[in-house]
Structure 1
Amino acid sequence: MSAPTAAVMPRQVRTARLLLLGMAFAGMVVILALQEGMTSYGLGDLMAPWILVWVCALLALTYDGRARGGTRVTTVVVMVFVLVSSFNQALGATAPSEFVDAALRIVLGLPVVVLLLLPEPTAWFDRAK
């Protein structure tokens, strides 16, 4: 009898994980860079979508072996909410910093959603325990 082989995380899932962790770091940098002169309302408005990105980054930390299909679906749904609000913010931006903030979430978030919806990551998350 051969020993059971360990499930290896697909390349697409590793890439999505790295993108999410990179987005979380980028969010901290953006908030620190843009917080000067903002009211508490403005800072909350700036932080709201990034908090959802940080939740997705925390979910990405569980992708190694404990995560199943629900984690993938939750990440995709939350990222879709982030993307919808980012498109809305980018289209209604009045300052270049608002546009860059939203564009950063779009450029890094859209590939995450696409990568997690591919067949290989779907099969990996739905594997037997």
Structure 2
Amino acid sequence: MSDVREAVMPRQVRGAQVLLFVLAVGGLVSMLALSDGLTAYGQGEMLAPWSLVWVCALLALTYDGGARGGVRITTIVLMVFMVLPTITRMGEAVGVGLFLDAALRILLGVPVVVLLFLPESTAWFDRER
């Protein structure tokens, strides 16, 4: 008799994973759409937070495999480093495009942090393999 235990990822973790993928694609679209009207400095300033999102999206690929609590904490820290400066600089957005870019990062970034702090998410990453 075999003892098979099926590990199913909680909805909270799957939601954070999907939000990170959507945020990564949204960042790519945003960078492509807004890069023509920006200087090199502006493009670099815009690329920095999106690069953190893309790293988090790569980390999200491991959520259903052997990811541990360190992956969860790293994702949370990187997302906080992306969201907080965006919130503080939201008022400095010159055009509608830059404002929407910042709003996208905030509206999708904050729920990722919240979802990864939930007890179900913590239990998923701390589970026995």
TM-score (norm 1): 0.95
Structure 2 partner of 1:59? 59
- Structure 2 gaps, min length 5: none
Tell me if 1:34 matches 2:34: yes
Q: Which moved more, 1:23-32 or 1:36-45?
A: 36-45
Whole-angstrom CA distance in 2 between matches of 1:86 and 1:97: 14
Whole-angstrom CA distance in 1 between matches of 2:40 and 2:108: 26
Structure 1 partner of 2:8? 8
Whole-angstrom CA distance in 2 between matches of 1:79 and 1:91: 20
Tell me if 1:77 matches 2:68: no
- Percent sequence identity over aligned pairs: 60
- For the 8 Å contact 1:24–1:50, the answer to whether it is kept is yes
* Larger RCO, structure (CA 8 Å, separation 6 or more): 2
- For the 8 Å contact 1:10–1:124, the answer to whether it is kept is yes
- For the 8 Å contact 1:9–1:124, the answer to whether it is kept is yes
- 1:10-65, Cα deviation, whole Å (9 max, x unpaired): 00100100000000000000000001132211111111100000000000000012
Structure 2 partner of 1:111? 111
Query: Number of paired residues?
Result: 129
Whole-angstrom CA distance in 2 between matches of 1:113 and 1:70: 14
Whole-angstrom CA distance in 2 between matches of 1:70 and 1:98: 32
- For the 8 Å contact 1:89–1:99, the answer to whether it is kept is no
Q: Which moved more, 1:83-92 or 1:62-71?
A: 83-92
Whole-angstrom CA distance in 2 between matches of 1:37 and 1:80: 28
Whole-angstrom CA distance in 2 between matches of 1:45 and 1:67: 31
How far apart are 1:6 and its partner, in Å?
2.3
Cα-Cα RMSD: 1.1
Output the amino acid matched with 1:28.
Answer: L
